[in-house]
Amino acid sequence: MIILAHDGSIYGDWVARYAIHFAAVEEDRKLLLLHVVDGKVGPEIVVSRFNALAGECDSYNVEFLPQHLPLGPSVYRTLRQAIPPDPDALLVCGTRVKPRRQKYLSGTISEKLLRMHQCPVLAIRVVQPGLLGNPHDLLLPLAGHLHGYCRV
């Protein structure tokens, strides 16, 4: 199963394209979309975006499983509690552009998800959105425990 942490933004839609393509080649062909309702993106926009993603999933014969989660103590904790305990699942999330002189993932929700070790996590920053999940090359910077590399 592919799990997508989506914040409701257009950047989340770009990352979703990758998640849909990954789900299309998975054995179970499922995409679990987790969205924490934090009020940063209006509900009508979120519904519209997720309806479009549902249509894309249909075109790839991927089962679309959206979950709108009420905000708990934090977005990270809400996501962590909602992620199913499946070590074979892949969690896909986006990253935000940070101001200069800040580390790439430092202090982000993506960093916290990468550190949780509940399942493999792929944090994507879409640099060229025109490709929308259809890149010719996908560069994956790898960091962490050496034994984790065999999963890629």
Say whether pLDDT at 140 is over 80.
Answer: no
pLDDT, position 137: 55
Q: Which backbone phi and psi does 116 adopt, to 5 degrees?
A: -75, -25
Rounded average pLDDT over 103-125: 80
Question: pTM for the whole thing?
Answer: 0.80
User: How does the average pLDDT of the chain come out, rounded?
Assistant: 83
List the domains of the chain with CATH numbers.
Answer: 2-151 (3.40.50.620)
Which uninterrupted H or E stretch holds 18?
helix 10-24
CA angle 6, 62, 122 (to 5 degrees): 40
Residue owning tokens 């025109």: 130
Contact between 30 and 65 under an 8 Å Cβ cutoff? The reply is yes
Which uninterrupted H or E stretch holds 54?
helix 43-59
